[in-house]
A and B are shown apart, each in its own frame.
Chain A
């Protein structure tokens, strides 16, 4: 469904991704793990065409999205929902207008209907009665959940989640994990989730891919990853300070 082929990308002459290959199958839930700053958000942005690769190609349903014109890209993006790491809610709009953005823009729906649908989506992420608030008045975790509601409102085929459970309490985190799983089971969405949280990764993933040193170094089912022989993967999922990732400079005490 989505295929990154030999993608290379650099920012300010610094190479972030190098010949990265990754395939996401239709209907699967893929989790990408990796250290902070290794390029997870950048690879997610490649999939929806926000970032264009310097070399290589990104295929969505077989079409190379870097060749699309902007209107075609806009049309293709209707298939996608995306939750940004920083939520990226529109400051000037209320929660209702944020979550219902696409309905107000494209759907031929009455205001009451939109309002009902927005409340329903907010309910799914455990929020209610905040429709008329502005994003500036929300807490970090609430913003994240509003962003999540905005990403799922059109029931898109593909959803990209950038750290959906970071910054929310463990209970809400579990609600979000269950929600992702639920969307996946009921709507057959393809979802790609970036996370640091191994517990949530095991819970939502069909497959887990680890990004390290500009490439995918390991990919497999949660069990395969848990039993991986690769020392880098092992160190990461166990969260050790000592190991090949840190190469002797992990602990300085």
Chain B
């Protein structure tokens, strides 16, 4: 009897907490979509803030360039070396070029760039907006009749949407360059052969799918980091908390979106 009752209580409690968890989830996602809508409306309705957009483009894009270079270049090298293990056994080294080119442009460059930008710039945006929130600066903006979304989120959104795909193109280039370095120096593939094996399988579609992904990742990073910042609560501790969850949630949603788009392109192509 008692065990039965305990089980019943346990099940009830689990159901209740699952329900609140689901509710919070929906509330959060709803909040993200509302912010996205307001931001996009802001792009067209508010007057353009060139200075802020340029400043953000500099912070997000130009300043991320070295780390994107470093990571994509080394990823290209590692990719070439790891696949050399298998492919040399089958004397198919020349396919390394194609493998590197395709996996970099279709998958690795967009995702790695997005993860770098989420960690580097998403966190910074959340920390900045969060501090503004807890020191009443966002309320002050409202009292000065400025719309916080149009003033703070829209310029960052425009900058992200432009800069993340650009960084992805850089990453495409340097990832392939990393593979090329290994192919030429260690695997003794000739320059012309490597180039041919890179360009032949690579189509505009491959690069485009990578760029479509990266635009959606940019939107995810910007909206999550701004949302977390604007909704920060509870002083410095709260800002720390929202910065952490901004990065974690961006990572999760980037990977989910990546999965979704990869599946979509796969089934559309077949």
Contact = CB atoms under 8 A, between A and B. Distances in A.
B137 A90 contact: yes
B145 interface: yes
Interface string A74-114: 11011011101110111110000000011001100000000
A90 B139 CA distance: 11
Interface string B117-149: 000000000001001100111011111111100
A48 to B, nearest CB: 6
B54 to A, nearest CB: 14
Nearest to B151: A105
**Consensus secondary structure, chain B interface:** helix
A105 B144 contact: yes
A138 B132 CA distance: 17
Interface in A40-89: 45, 48, 50, 70, 74-75, 77-78, 80-82, 84-86, 88-89
Contact of B146 (A45, A85, A86, A105): A105
Nearest to A106: B145
B136 A84 contact: yes
Contact of A86 (B136, B142, B143, B144): B136
Contacts of A90: 132, 137, 140-141
A91 B131 CA distance: 10
A84 B142 CA distance: 12
A22 B133 CA distance: 28
| Of listed A75, A80, A84, residue having the most chain B CB within 10 A | A84
Contacts of B147: 70, 74
Contacts of B142: 50, 77
A88 B145 contact: no
A45 B139 contact: yes
B135 A74 contact: no
Interface residues of B, number: 15
B139 A101 contact: no
A88 B144 contact: no
Contacts of B132: 90-91
Given A91-B131, A91-B132, A77 B145 contact: yes
B53 to A, nearest CB: 14
Contacts of B146: 74, 101, 105
Contacts of A85: 136
Contact of B145 (A45, A74, A84, A89): A74
A105 B142 CA distance: 13
B139 A102 contact: no
Contacts of A82: 140, 143
A77 B136 contact: no
A88 B140 contact: yes
A154 B147 CA distance: 18
A88 B135 CA distance: 6
The interface centre, meaning the residue of B142, B144, B147 with most chain A CB atoms within 10 A of its CB, is B144
A77 B137 CA distance: 16
A80 B142 CA distance: 11
A101 B137 CA distance: 13
Nearest to B140: A88
Interface string A204-246: 0000000000000000000000000000000000000000000
A176 to B, nearest CB: 19
A84 B139 CA distance: 9
Nearest to B143: A82
Contacts of B143: 48, 50, 77, 80-82
Nearest to B141: A90
Nearest to A90: B137
A89 B131 CA distance: 12
Nearest to A76: B145
Among the interface residues B132, B140, B146, which one has the most CB atoms of the partner chain A within 10 A? B140
B137 A102 contact: no
A91 B139 contact: no
A101 B128 CA distance: 19
Interface string B144-163: 11110000000000000000
13 contacts: A48-B143, A50-B143, A74-B146, A77-B143, A78-B145, A80-B143, A85-B136, A86-B135, A86-B136, A88-B137, A90-B141, A105-B145, A105-B146
Interface of B: 128, 131-132, 135-137, 139-147
Given A74-B146, A150-B144, 4 more contacts: A84-B140, A90-B141, A91-B131, A102-B145
Listed from nearest, the 10 A-B pairs whose CB atoms lie closest are A88-B140, A88-B136, A74-B145, A82-B143, A77-B145, A84-B136, A50-B139, A88-B137, A78-B145, A101-B144
